[in-house]
Amino acid sequence: MKIGPLDSKAAINSANAERKSVVGANAQAARPEPSAKVELSPAASLIAKAEADGSFDAQKVDRLAAAIRNGSFQVDADAIADKLIAQAQEMLGRTPQ
């Protein structure tokens, strides 16, 4: 295989045109049908609602960030463990006893 001179603009232009036609054909094949439907899971719907709400406590975030920076933030391992267990039970469809 021979490689021609790199300053050949005709070869570069034809290669670019070929690449564009392949990309264009792939893009047309990847378009979904107009009748395609997408349904969000309940969890995704909940997250979307929370993001749309836009309300969060910026002052609380600032207080937590300051506590972490100055080393006074305390992690309540028992509370975290209890919430993790409750969440796991909820996901498994079980209720705490």
User: pLDDT tens digit string along 33-60?
Assistant: 777 788 888 888 888 887 777 677 889 9
Beta-strand runs (E) in 29-70: none
Q: Looking up tokens 């969440």, which residue turns up?
A: 87
Contacts of 4 (CB under 8 A, 6+ apart): 11
Half-sphere exposure of residue 1, counting CA atoms within 13 Å on the CB side?
Answer: 1
Is the pTM higher than 0.75? The answer reads no
Tell me phi and psi for residue 2, to 5 degrees: -105, 140
Q: What is the 8-class DSSP label of residue 9?
A: H
Half-sphere exposure of residue 43, counting CA atoms within 13 Å on the CB side?
Answer: 1
Tokens of 43: 């969890």
Mean pLDDT score, 3-30: 59
Model pLDDT, residue 77: 95
